Amino acid sequence: MKIRVDDEQIVKAVKKLDGIELVVEGEEDALEGIRLILRRPENLGTDRFDRLKDIKVTPSRGYETSAVEYRLRFLIEFVFEDEVSLEDRVEAIKAFQGFLNRV
């Protein structure tokens, strides 16, 4: 299951959780930020990420108003163990997105 996340959402979440002003310039930085967020599941309100196998990050650029102004966005794919139900996957993704939207 893939979701789209802006670089600013990752930066704000890491700042809130750890007080670190993370610089997100690419997929490695984004992946590191996501791992920092997921290591504290109590803030997400779910423990559904305990059976997460992998996280894949693909960068993309979103142009807001012109070819000069763009936002760095990422497609985040959460790869769970095979036996994790669809409902549990959806709950985990919704909790992650909800947390990013609250920050």
* Spatial distance between the Cα atoms of 27 and 56, rounded to a whole number of angstroms: 9
pTM of the complete model: 0.86
Question: What H or E segment, with its residue span, contains residue 73?
Answer: strand 70-80
Q: What is the pLDDT of residues 8-49, one digit of tens each?
A: 999 999 999 999 999 999 999 999 999 999 998 888 888 889
Any idea of the CA torsion for 26, 21, 36, 47, to the nearest 10 degrees? -120
- Closest by Cα among 80, 93, 23 to 10: 23
Question: Under DSSP, is residue 97 helix (H, G, I), strand (E, B) or coil?
Answer: helix
CA atoms within 13 A on the CB side of 17: 23
User: What are the domain boundaries of the chain?
Assistant: 2-102
